[in-house]
Structure 1
Amino acid sequence: MLALLACLAVPLAAKAPSKPVQLDQELYRTVIERVRGGENFYPATMAAQRERVYPVQPALAVRPPTMTYWLALLPSTATRTAALIVLLFGALIALRQSLSDRPPAEALAMVALAVAGLFGVFFPDNVYLHEQWSVLLVMLALTANRRPWLMVLLALLAVLVRETALAWLAAIVLAALWKRDWRLAGMALGAIALAGGLWLIHAQQVAAQVHPGDLTSPGWVRFGGLPLVIDALRRNLALTGLPGPLILALVAASLAAMLGWGRDFERIAAIGSAGFLAALTVFGRPDNGYWGFMAAPFVLLGLPLIVRQGLAASRGRTSAR
Structure 2
Amino acid sequence: MARTASRWLAGPTRFAALSRSRARIGLALLPVLLLLCLSALFAAQPPSAGMSATGEPTSSADEAPAHDSDVVLYEKIVAGVRSDAGDYYTVATDAMRAGRYPLRPFVTVRMPALATVQAALPDWGPSLLLVLLAAVTAAAWGLRLGEVLPGWAPRAAASVLLLGSMLALLQPALWALHDLWAGLLIALSLALRRPGRWMEAVALALAAMLIRETAALYVVVMAALAWRDGARAEARGWVAALLLFGLALAAHAHAVMGATSPLDAILPGWTGLLGAGFFVKAVTLSTVLQFLPLWGGALLVGLILFGWASWADPLGHRFLVVLIAYGALIGVFARPENFYWALIVAPLFLVGLVFVPDGLRDLVARALDKRRITVTRVTR
TM interval, short-chain normalised: 0.7 to 0.9
Letter of the aligned partner of 1:30 in structure 2?
K
Corresponding residue SS for 1:118? helix
Deviation per residue, 1:104-148 (Å, 9 max, x gap): 333333333232222233324200101121111111101101330
C-alpha displacement of 1:195: 1.3
Q: Cα distance 1:57–1:20, how it changes in 2: closer, same or farther (>3 A)?
A: closer
Residue 129 of structure 1: aligned partner: 177
Instruction: Tell whether 2:248 aligns with 1:202.
Output: no
C-alpha displacement of 1:307: 1.3
Give the distance between the partners of 2:320 and 2:350, measured in 1 at CA: 9
> Given that residues 310 and 355 in structure 2 are in contact (C-alpha distance below 8 angstroms), is that contact kept between their aligned partners in structure 1?
no
Give the distance between the partners of 2:247 and 2:185, measured in 1 at CA: 21
Aligned residue-pair number: 303
Residue 120 of structure 1: aligned partner: 168
Letter of the aligned partner of 1:162 in structure 2?
R
Instruction: Tell whether 2:100 aligns with 1:53.
Output: yes
Corresponding residue SS for 1:281? helix
Identity of aligned residues (%): 26
**Which segment is superposed worse, 300-309 or 18-27?**
18-27
Deviation per residue, 1:149-197 (Å, 9 max, x gap): 0011101111111122223222211221232111111101111122122
Unaligned runs of 5+ in 2: 1-58, 372-380
C-alpha displacement of 1:19: 9.0
C-alpha displacement of 1:257: 4.2
C-alpha displacement of 1:207: 0.9
Deviation per residue, 1:294-318 (Å, 9 max, x gap): 122333433322313445689999x
Letter of the aligned partner of 2:141 in structure 1?
L
Q: Cα distance 1:314–1:218, how it changes in 2: closer, same or farther (>3 A)?
A: closer
Give the distance between the partners of 1:25 and 1:276, measured in 2 at CA: 22
Deviation per residue, 1:186-222 (Å, 9 max, x gap): 1011111221221121111111111242111112212
**TM-score, length basis structure 2:** 0.72
Give the distance between the partners of 1:193 and 1:275, measured in 2 at CA: 20
Q: Cα distance 1:295–1:121, how it changes in 2: closer, same or farther (>3 A)?
A: same
Give the distance between the partners of 2:175 and 2:242, measured in 1 at CA: 26
C-alpha displacement of 1:259: 4.1
Deviation per residue, 1:216-258 (Å, 9 max, x gap): 11122121113421221112213643445x6555444533543
**TM-score, length basis structure 1:** 0.85
Residue in structure 2 matching 1:215, options 265, 268, 272: 265
Q: Cα distance 1:178–1:265, how it changes in 2: closer, same or farther (>3 A)?
A: same
> Given that residues 175 and 267 in structure 1 are in contact (C-alpha distance below 8 angstroms), is that contact kept between their aligned partners in structure 2?
no
> Given that residues 307 and 354 in structure 2 are in contact (C-alpha distance below 8 angstroms), is that contact kept between their aligned partners in structure 1?
no
Give the distance between the partners of 1:192 and 1:307, measured in 2 at CA: 38
Structure with bigger gyration radius: 2
Give the distance between the partners of 1:284 and 1:20, measured in 2 at CA: 14
Give the distance between the partners of 2:275 and 2:171, measured in 1 at CA: 28
**Which segment is superposed worse, 53-62 or 222-231?**
222-231
The residue correspondences of 1:96-175 to structure 2 (distance < 5 A) are: 96-101=142-147, 102-103=149-150, 104-146=152-194, 147-175=197-225
Residue in structure 2 matching 1:263, options 308, 313, 332: 313
Unaligned runs of 5+ in 1: 1-13
Q: For CA contacts below 8 A with separation 6 or more, give which structure has more relative contact order.
A: 2
Letter of the aligned partner of 2:118 in structure 1?
L
